[in-house]
Amino acid sequence: MRPKMPILLYCADRELLSATAFALRLQPYDVTAIDDSRSAAAVMMASDLVCGILIHARQGDFAGRLIRRLLEADLHVPLLLVDLAGDLAPVRYADMVLYGRNTSMAHILGALNVLCARKRGPRSAA
């Protein structure tokens, strides 16, 4: 049996965070679910993560600014931004962006498969 890949999941909405983390744990992912952006940044910098997922659930909330700060940090971890609220995109710092309320768990899992296959390292300046 293959070991689970460590990923970080950040979402300020605790209900959505819990449901998404549960679904991801059924897949080959060891999920660290965090609802605090400072803790998320610390975990991303200190851990050996394969990928990070940042979910923005509500339009105009404070979490959007916190997500922008996380994206602007030089984390060396592939980042997937799931912008359900639709007010953060386009964001050039994310490796992949899923945009809109119609984003499903199948979309997230597909994006994770792509990002987890990438090699770690500094992102190219775009």
Task: Return the HEC string of the chain.
Answer: CCCCEEEEEEECCHHHHHHHHHHHHCCCEEEEEECCHHHHHHHHHHCCCCEEEEEECCCCCHHHHHHHHHHHCCCCCCEEEEECCCCCCCCCCCCEEEECCCCCHHHHHHHHHHHHCCCCCCCCCC
Domain boundaries, the chain: 5-15+27-116
Q: What is the pLDDT of residues 80-93, one digit of tens each?
A: 989 888 777 566 67
List, for residues 42-73, the tens digit of each pLDDT value.
Answer: 888 877 889 989 888 877 766 677 777 777 77
CATH 3.20.20.10 given to domain 5-15+27-116: no
Q: Is the pLDDT of residue 125 over 50?
A: no
pLDDT at 67: 75
For residues 22-44, average pLDDT: 89
- Strands of the sheet with 79-83, listed across from one edge: 29-34, 5-11, 51-56, 79-83, 96-99
